[in-house]
């Protein structure tokens, strides 16, 4: 395919050269795209000219086909997916499909809440879909997208080295990760950039550190050796199997998994959702899988720190997660009590009569008039503050780990206790 395309373009280029001698260059082939798009969208053409592709005969038609040639038929232009890039970049593609980014679209779609939100915030590349356009889409996923009237977002290889410059240097800059790894529930950009690791990187960029000085950026730790296969030990949800040996932590972990809907709240048996967790690699499910990622990370730290030092730092991170889980489980159990007593009615779309962390801020299960305040506090405790506690710790950020993380969790638990008391009192009066 690659050779076919190359050959085709080369033949086209020769033909065009011959044609341009007769002054008819703009009628067919690659030059026609450029000549017209120079007027229609000059910024794109300039970007492409600045890319390595332009010097390598990888032109507009190579990626978009030749069916569209006039201002009226632009819908005939192909919008290429990752497989087109793979024709020439097999190595990066095969790493990428083994990594976590390849599951971005599918894991978003697996969330019940996704289907309650406006399409513009999903397929329309803002909101959830703006960051989760990561991963090769299946045929069914593409068809769904078209059916809803969304034609773009077919490619995730342009998320870090953006089109049409497709620049490696851009992707190596930590700014390339910022749009998605920021904000409410995963502020890695904010945590890293104000940590010593980030400060050093930024100071070095400003040339205020000697050339040889070290500074790790996102890519150093998460794409070592330029690998497009990204994974961490704990991942986003901060859960894993097997259960911890510590009895209290194990109990707390079970409570959290119930609230995630992975274990049945009554029986403690795995639910159908556990299969999704497996398929979507939402957590490392064996000690080996977890340890492999941890060892890789330690290897990276050891480029600049002693191994013992790095091990100590990461072990403390694990321990913070244990302590955060203690607060979290207490919060869940209080709210679960209100469900059991019938003080909070089970929202229709909830699978069980139990708090569910996967409905995010939509605790009424789609009905915005039925939001329960205490559920909202619980969701923020999990998604915002528990995340900050351990993510901030791992990204060496004192303020995120304490004030925005741990301290905020303690505040949430206080609010949950107080609100539950008030709800019980009001409920008793109403009877
Ligand atoms: C005669 C002018 C002309 C020529 C020649 C031309 N285009 Fe276009 N192209 C357009 C116009 C006009 C649009 C629509 C712009 C808009 O929507 O504002 C467009 C849109 C596109 C789109 C976006 C399609 C979409 O669905 O949004 C792509 C991709 C594209 N052109 C690629 C090419 C390629 C590749 C070639 C050469 C094979 C080419 N164009 C030749 C005028 C041209
Ligand atoms: C290496 C492959 C590649 C090359 C070369 C390439 N494009 Fe694209 N182009 C893409 C990808 C990927 C998208 C995004 C597709 C999507 O969102 O589904 C895109 C999207 C577009 C769009 C629609 C989105 C927008 O921002 O307007 C236009 C128009 C377009 N390209 C024009 C061009 C033109 C003109 C050239 C030549 C100067 C060119 N492309 C060269 C890969 C390429
Ligand atoms: C027909 C072959 C071909 C296709 C298709 C292709 N590329 Fe390339 N790409 C190349 C060549 C050749 C280079 C230059 C390699 C070099 O200089 O080492 C390159 C370079 C790159 C680079 C490195 C640029 C730099 O700054 O060093 C990136 C990133 C890249 N391509 C991304 C993509 C993406 C994303 C797609 C799909 C949208 C794609 N390519 C499609 C052939 C292709
Ligand atoms: C600002 C970009 C952004 C937005 C908006 C966003 N996400 Fe995410 N999402 C991410 C990133 C980045 C991660 C990985 C974070 C981490 O590992 O710390 C993630 C992780 C996830 C995960 C967990 C994947 C895993 O393997 O653990 C799910 C599920 C998810 N998001 C669903 C959603 C849904 C549903 C929405 C909308 C309600 C949404 N996201 C909105 C960027 C975003
Ligand atoms: C999460 C961000 C990200 C995504 C998504 C991404 N890349 Fe990259 N890409 C990078 C980074 C960072 C580098 C530089 C790696 C290095 O050299 O250390 C890079 C480098 C490249 C290069 C240049 C390799 C070289 O050494 O010359 C190619 C080609 C490339 N990527 C293709 C792809 C393709 C194809 C996809 C989609 C399957 C893709 N990338 C998706 C971040 C990304
Ligand atoms: C010095 C190395 C280092 C740097 C630099 C770094 N991270 Fe991390 N990152 C880690 C460690 C360690 C973990 C936790 C690994 C584990 O689960 O054991 C982690 C975890 C993550 C996770 C999973 C969820 C979480 O936060 O625990 C994401 C996503 C992530 N980092 C993204 C980023 C982004 C984006 C940047 C740059 C803005 C960045 N990281 C900078 C070391 C680093
Ligand atoms: C377009 C948005 C986007 C960009 C840009 C992006 N990411 Fe991600 N990243 C995500 C999403 C979404 C996920 C969660 C994927 C899933 O659902 O499994 C994720 C997951 C990750 C994870 C895996 C965490 C885990 O669960 O183990 C790491 C590590 C990571 N990204 C690092 C990076 C780095 C480093 C960069 C920049 C070079 C980057 N990302 C750029 C959206 C993005
Ligand atoms: C590319 C080099 C590099 C890598 C890789 C790296 N660090 Fe660092 N780290 C530094 C530098 C430089 C500093 C700031 C100077 C200092 O305190 O040693 C620093 C600071 C720290 C600090 C704060 C020290 C203090 O006294 O405030 C901790 C903790 C830390 N790193 C842990 C880690 C961990 C854990 C990893 C792996 C996940 C890691 N580092 C990876 C270079 C690196």
3-state secondary structure of 78: coil
Assess contact for 128 and 361: CB atoms under 8 A: no
pLDDT at 21 over 60: no
Query: Can you give the pLDDT at residue 9?
Result: 47
Pairwise CA distance, residues 42 & 39, whole Å: 6
What is the torsion angle, in degrees rounded to the nearest 10, for the CA atoms of residue 52, residue 58, residue 60 and residue 62?
A: -150
Q: What is the mean pLDDT of the chain?
A: 91
Residues with CB under 6 A from ligand 1: 32-33, 36-37, 40, 60-61, 64, 66, 68-71, 74-75, 77, 151
pLDDT for the residue numbered 194: 98
Tell me the whole-structure pTM to 2 decimals.
0.95
Predicted pLDDT at 30: 85
Across the range 315-338, mean pLDDT stands at: 98
Task: Give me the percent of the chain exceeding a pLDDT of 90.
Answer: 83
Out of 164-168, 313-317, 360-364, pick the least confident: 360-364
Write the residue with the smallest CA distance to atom 2 of ligand 5. 160
Predicted pLDDT of residue 315: 97
Please state the atom number of ligand 1 nearest to the C-alpha of residue 64.
35
Q: What is the pLDDT of residue 358?
A: 86
Q: DSSP assignment of 196-261, as one string? A: HHHHHHHHHHTT-S-TT-----HHHHHSGGG-S----SSTTTT-BSSPPSSHHHHHHHHHHHHHTT
Which residue has the least CA distance to atom 30 on ligand 5? 92
Alpha-carbon gap, residue 264 to 382, rounded angstroms: 19
Our measurement of the distance from residue 314's CA atom to the centroid of its chain's CA atoms, rounded to an integer in Å, reads: 22
Question: Given the CA of residue 297, which atom of ligand 8 is nearest to it?
Answer: 38
Pocket of ligand 8 (CB under 6 A): 196-197, 200, 214-216, 220-221, 297, 300-301, 303-305, 310, 313-314, 396
The whole-angstrom separation of Cα 71 and Cα 60 is 15
How far apart are the CA of 251 and the centre of ligand 3, in A? Answer: 50
- In DSSP terms, 270 is beta-bridged to 263
**Pocket of ligand 1, candidates 36, 84, 151: which has the most ligand atoms within 8 Å of its Cβ, to mutate?**
36
pLDDT in tens, 195-208: 999 999 999 999 99
Q: What is the set of domains in the chain, with CATH numbers? A: 1-78 (no CATH), 87-157 (no CATH), 247-430 (1.20.850.10)
Alpha-carbon separation of residue 243 from 80, 249, 416 (angstroms): 43, 8, 27
Residues paired with residue 284 on neighbouring β-strands, in sequence order: 240
Contact 414, 422 (CB under 8 A): no
Give residue 172 CA to ligand 6 midpoint distance, Å: 15
């Amino acid at each position: 395919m690659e050779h076919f395309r190359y050959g085709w373009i080369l033949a086209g280029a020769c033909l065009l050269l011959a044609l341009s001698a007769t002054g008819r260059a703009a009628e067919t082939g690659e030059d026609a795209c450029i000549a017209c798009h120079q007027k229609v969208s000059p910024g794109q053409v300039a970007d492409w000219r600045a890319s390595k592709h332009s010097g390598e005969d990888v032109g507009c038609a190579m990626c978009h086909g030749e069916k569209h040639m006039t201002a009226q038929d632009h819908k005939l232009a192909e919008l290429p997916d990752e497989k087109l890039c793979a024709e020439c970049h097999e190595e990066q593609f095969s790493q990428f499909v083994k990594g976590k980014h390849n599951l971005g679209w599918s894991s978003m779609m697996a969330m019940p809440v996704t289907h309650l939100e406006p399409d513009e915030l999903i397929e329309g590349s803002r909101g959830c879909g703006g960051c989760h356009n990561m991963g090769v889409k299946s045929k069914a996923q593409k068809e769904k997208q078209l059916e809803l009237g969304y034609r773009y977002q077919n490619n995730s290889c342009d998320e870090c080295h953006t089109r049409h410059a497709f620049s490696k240097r851009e992707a190596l800059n930590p700014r390339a990760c910022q749009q998605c790894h920021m904000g409410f529930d995963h502020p890695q950009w904010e945590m890293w950039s104000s940590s010593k690791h980030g400060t050093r990187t930024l100071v070095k960029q400003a040339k205020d550190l000697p050339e040889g000085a070290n500074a790790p950026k996102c890519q150093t730790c998460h794409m070592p050796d330029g690998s497009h296969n990204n994974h961490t030990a704990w991942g986003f949800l901060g859960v894993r199997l097997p259960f911890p040996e510590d009895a209290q932590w194990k109990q707390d972990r079970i409570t959290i998994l119930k609230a995630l809907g992975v274990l049945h709240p009554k029986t403690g048996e795995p639910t159908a959702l556990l299969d999704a967790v497996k398929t979507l690699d939402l957590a490392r499910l064996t000690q080996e899988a977890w340890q492999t990622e941890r060892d890789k990370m330690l290897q990276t730290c050891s480029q600049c720190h002693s191994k013992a030092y790095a091990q100590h730092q990461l072990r403390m991170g694990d321990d913070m997660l244990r302590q955060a889980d203690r607060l979290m489980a207490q919060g869940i159990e209080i709210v679960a009590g209100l469900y059991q007593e019938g003080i909070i009615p089970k929202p229709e779309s909830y699978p069980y009569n139990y708090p569910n962390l996967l409905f995010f801020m939509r605790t009424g299960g789609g009905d915005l008039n039925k939001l329960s305040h205490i559920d909202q506090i619980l969701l923020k405790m999990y998604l915002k503050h528990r995340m900050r506690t351990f993510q901030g710790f791992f990204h060496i950020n004192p303020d995120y780990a304490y004030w925005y993380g741990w301290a905020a969790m303690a505040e949430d638990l206080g609010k949950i206790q107080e609100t539950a008391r008030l709800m019980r009192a009001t409920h008793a009066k109403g009877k």
